[in-house]
A = this chain, B = another copy of it.
């Protein structure tokens, strides 16, 4: 966007020959760092290549194009998110209600701790044309964590009736809406540490509404 005049920093070690490592992985990590520092819109493939000490066309040996690099990051992000949500419930055995709210909390934590990944996962419409089928699959897998939890909650007569997909959507919407509005500067949180508990405070009405009447 802005054409800044940068004093050409001489490559520390002028690489000759191959990168001799996992260049694909290195490019993804460089990309995330750059997105963290200057934002998604300012991110360029060329800069990522420079950061790992390789000429920019080398990236095309590992990714079809720029969008494919971002899609790879998004894909890994959804896998990581699924892992976090699953891990969140591991510590909580009994109360399904506690488990469900722990999943919501872990979603929010992921978004705020790894904002660059979150933005890549939800910012650009990478898969508008359905090009990245693997990406669509890991998105579905993440959602499935919510659905399964709702199902066991309903089976134990803790959660209200309704299609599991729909109740799970409500959960996803609440965690995603909160995370998005915070990350995109629309809702202000006093301190990052309070972000998770504030989420539970705000969405208490929803959680109350999800509880089965007794």
Q: Give the interface centre of A66, A173, A178, A186 by most chain B CB atoms within 10 Å.
A: A173
Interface of A is mostly: helix
A174 engages B174 (CB within 8 Å): yes
Which B residues are in CB contact (< 8 Å) with A122?
180, 184, 186
A173 engages B185 (CB within 8 Å): no
Copies in the complex: 2
Counting CB contacts under 8 A, is A170 at the interface?
A: yes
Chain A contacts to B: CB under 8 angstroms = 1-2, 39-41, 65-67, 122-125, 127-128, 139, 143, 160, 162, 166-167, 169-170, 172-178, 180-181, 184-187, 201-210
29 A-B residue contacts at CB 8 Å? A1-B66, A2-B65, A39-B124, A39-B128, A40-B124, A41-B41, A122-B180, A122-B184, A122-B186, A123-B123, A162-B205, A166-B201, A167-B205, A169-B187, A169-B202, A170-B206, A172-B186, A173-B178, A173-B181, A173-B202, A174-B174, A174-B206, A176-B180, A177-B180, A205-B210, A206-B206, A206-B209, A208-B209, A209-B210
